[in-house]
Structure formats: structure tokens, C-alpha cells
Amino acid sequence: MSSAADFPLFTLTEDHLAIREAVRAVAEDKIAPYAAAVDEEARYPQEAHDALVASDFFAPHVPEAYGGVGADALAVCLVIEEVARACASSSLIPAVNKLGSLPVQLAGSEDVKQRYLTPLAEGRTTFSYGLSEREAGSDTASMRTKAVRDGDDWVLTGQKSWITNAGVSEYYTVLAVTDPDGRRGANVTAFVVEKSDEGFTFGEKERKLGIKGSPTRELHFDKVRLPGDRVVGEVGDGLRIALRTLDHTRITIGAQAVGIAQGALDHALAYVKERQQFGKHISEFQGVQFMLADMAMQLEAARQMVYVAAAKSEREDPDLTFFGAAAKAYASDVAMSITTDAVQLMGGAGYTRDFPVERMMRDAKITQIYEGTNQVQRVVMARQLLKR
């Protein structure tokens, strides 16, 4: 891992600032007005989907060669952060589009890239990621979903759990064991599965604490026949591709967490400047001011860490694994703390659905869990430190 003296930080260019301004306008005008209803009705945020497609913020990471805008990793984080500030469920659209398709972008053949990244860039589909299973969450190498070669094809059998935007997406990057007797971690292969493939079905929608607008379902594979050209990368290289993907995409969860926290702080600030007790605004009480100062300080530290990690992602720096895990863990812990404090500052009002901070508090919790729990992130960081 690099020392503080020899790694470059990030630079927010004029293009980055323009992207932030543009996506903030979209989020405020086309996404925020529907956020409460999306949560209350636990429905997919189609309004946000359509607005993101129309503004080219739907899958901004896709390279220009495949019809995308080719946004860098920092720009993608800015998009996700600004959308999450308005609606966490909606921010999972660009975030999971990157998660699901990045294995294709990193390791797919040119034909696979053209076939699957182009329609994603055009907004004709979302792209999900199938790694976790009921008994293989943090321990991904213990997965049981398997693919057996049959001539030029593969036959896929098993299930995946906790799959974001399942049922909405047309395409899924799915990891499966292709050599049961092979070395653990080197016997897994990545495939693209299409929603229309025979034998591919979905479980019921999970009933969740937060991000209710993003459907989470199981994937079921009953002898799904996949053509050989659906393999992503090399046979047996799937887990390496999956872990490399997560090094990059954990940062987007950090960006989501920063956006949620910023939204909660915004609402808390507006409330304490209006609410009066004992003859003055509660923002004038030192205890409240200390809480606000701590919230803002933690938020800015998290934001800086996410942006540094995003810059490292773009450069493929060798210490990305540490910084990606650190950014995700720290930002999500901060988001949970800030949203909880926002509810506290708003008192009884914050605890009701009349204000969005209770939703933000519920949404923040998942950022500490998915794409690797924060306990696993600390294991990842420690291992990187011990390698030095």
C-alpha cells in the first residue's frame, strides 16, 4: 500500500462539477418528488429510471466504444451520490448497472462487450449481479450453483440470493462452479444469463427494512442452457473477476452512503433552523450545534475517502483493494450515524413518515451490509496491511 506522500489524490474537474450540477437538477426535479411513494408502495422507481435514461446517467460507466458516455469512476460516484441524496432506491439503478456489467467490461470478449454493453448504454435494459447464495454470502468460494459443460453449451443449475433489481434486469452476470474437483477459488466461471433463458425464474420479492423501491429476489436456475459464447473471461477465472469487480464497485456503495447522509443532514439543518423551543430556534443551542458539526465533519471525511478511492479505481492503483474497502466501510458507518442523528435532531417529527429522514435511516443500514459486510471489509483491509 502506498504511503501518504506518494499517492496522488483526486481532482474535481470542470466536467465533474458540471455533471454534479446536472444530476442534482435531475434528482431534485424528477426523482425526489417520487421517493416517498416509491418507499411506501415498495415499487420500482420507474420515474427515476426514465429520467436517468433521458439524461445519460443510467449507466454512465459504459465506454464510448459501446455507445456509453465513458464517465470515469469519480464521475460515476458523483451521479450515484446525488441520486442517493434524493432517493437511495433510485441510486441503485446506476450503481447496480455498473456492478452487473463491470465483469463484462473487465474480462469479456469483444463480442460479449458489444452484445451486452451496447443495449445497457442505450437504456434498453438494466444489468444485475449474481454472486451470493443462501449459504455463500461472505464465503463466496463455497457457492453451490454449478454449470456443467454439454458440448459447446453449459447447463446451469442452482440459485442466487439477495439479487438487486432481479426481475427488472434483462441481463445477469452469474458465477457458478464449473470444476467441482478443482482448487477452491479457481473452479468458478462467470456467465451472462438472459431473463428470457428457459429454466431461469425468480423468487418472491424480499420484504426489506429499506431500499424498498429496489426489488431484491432470488434467482433460480433449473437446467438453464447457456451457449458457450456466454462465458465472461476464461473458464475458471470467475472468482478472480468477481473480486476484482468488487474492488471497483464497493466505492459506489460508499458514494451511495455519502449521498444518503448528505440528504439527511440537509433535512436536519433545515428543520433545526425553523423549529423553536424555549423562545429560540433550536439551532442556537450549543448541544445541537455540536451534533451538526460532528455530522458534517464525518460526512466530509467520508466524501474525501470515497473520491480518493474512485480516483484510485480509475488509475487501477495497486492499493485499490484497501482503499475501496476502507471507503465503503467508513462511509456506510458514517451514513448510519448521521441518519440516526438526523432523526434525533428532528425528535418526534423525525420518527414519522412526514419527513424523509426516517426513510434515509432505514436505507442507510444496507450500505453496511451489501457488497461485503463492514466486518468483511475490515478483514480485507487488515490482510492488505499485513502484506506490506
165-191 in b/e burial notation, b at 16+ Cβ within 10 A? bbbbbbbbbbbbbbeeeeeeeebbbbb
Spell out where the chain has E strands: 127-130, 146-150, 153-164, 171-177, 188-194, 200-202, 216-226, 231-232, 276-277, 280-281
How far is it, in rounded angstroms, from Cα 48 to Cα 254?
Answer: 20
Residues 280 and 221 in one domain: no
Residues 218 and 333 in one domain: no
In a domain, 153, yes or no: yes
Reported as a single tens digit per residue, the pLDDT across 280-329 is 999 999 999 999 999 999 999 999 999 999 999 999 999 999 999 999 99
| Assigned C-alpha cell, 276 | 423553536
In a domain, 181, yes or no: yes
Computed over every residue of the chain, the mean pLDDT equals 96
| Assigned C-alpha cell, 152 | 459447446
What's 116's domain CATH number? 1.10.540.10
How far is it, in rounded angstroms, from Cα 45 to Cα 86?
Answer: 12
How far is it, in rounded angstroms, from Cα 105 to Cα 97?
Answer: 11
pLDDT at 8: 60
Reported as a single tens digit per residue, the pLDDT across 121-174 is 999 999 999 999 999 888 888 999 999 999 999 999 999 999 999 999 999 999
User: What's the domain range around 58?
Assistant: 14-126
Residues 206 and 312 in one domain: no
Residues 120 and 188 in one domain: no
In a domain, 97, yes or no: yes
Reported as a single tens digit per residue, the pLDDT across 18-70 is 999 999 999 999 999 999 999 999 999 999 999 999 999 999 999 999 999 99
In a domain, 7, yes or no: no
pLDDT at residue 112 is higher than 90: yes
Catalytic residue among 81, 133, 218, 371: 371
Residues 222 and 336 in one domain: no
Residues 244 and 358 in one domain: yes
pLDDT at residue 203 is higher than 60: yes
How far is it, in rounded angstroms, from Cα 90 to Cα 34?
Answer: 10
In a domain, 1, yes or no: no
Residues 284 and 161 in one domain: no
**Closest to 133 measured CA to CA, from 99, 91, 163:** 163
**Closest to 168 measured CA to CA, from 31, 26, 45:** 45
Residues 153 and 50 in one domain: no
In a domain, 102, yes or no: yes
How far is it, in rounded angstroms, from Cα 388 to Cα 373?
Answer: 24
Domain end, chosen from 107, 126, 145, is at: 126
In a domain, 274, yes or no: yes
Residues 244 and 375 in one domain: yes
Residues 116 and 150 in one domain: no
What's 352's domain CATH number? 1.20.140.10
Residues 96 and 177 in one domain: no
Domain end, chosen from 215, 236, 257, is at: 236
Q: Work out the average pLDDT over 176-201.
A: 96
pLDDT at 3: 47
pLDDT band of 5, cuts 50, 70, 90 = very low
How far is it, in rounded angstroms, from Cα 13 to Cα 79?
Answer: 14
Residues 184 and 261 in one domain: no
How far is it, in rounded angstroms, from Cα 362 to Cα 33?
Answer: 19
pLDDT band of 6, cuts 50, 70, 90 = low
Domain end, chosen from 89, 104, 126, is at: 126
pLDDT band of 185, cuts 50, 70, 90 = confident
| 17 C-beta neighbours (distance < 10 Å), count | 11
In a domain, 176, yes or no: yes
The 3-state DSSP composition of the chain as helix, strand, coil percent (nearest 5) reads: 55, 15, 30
Reported as a single tens digit per residue, the pLDDT across 63-73 is 999 999 999 99
How far is it, in rounded angstroms, from Cα 284 to Cα 275?
Answer: 10
Q: What is the number of domains present in the chain?
A: 3
371 is catalytic: yes
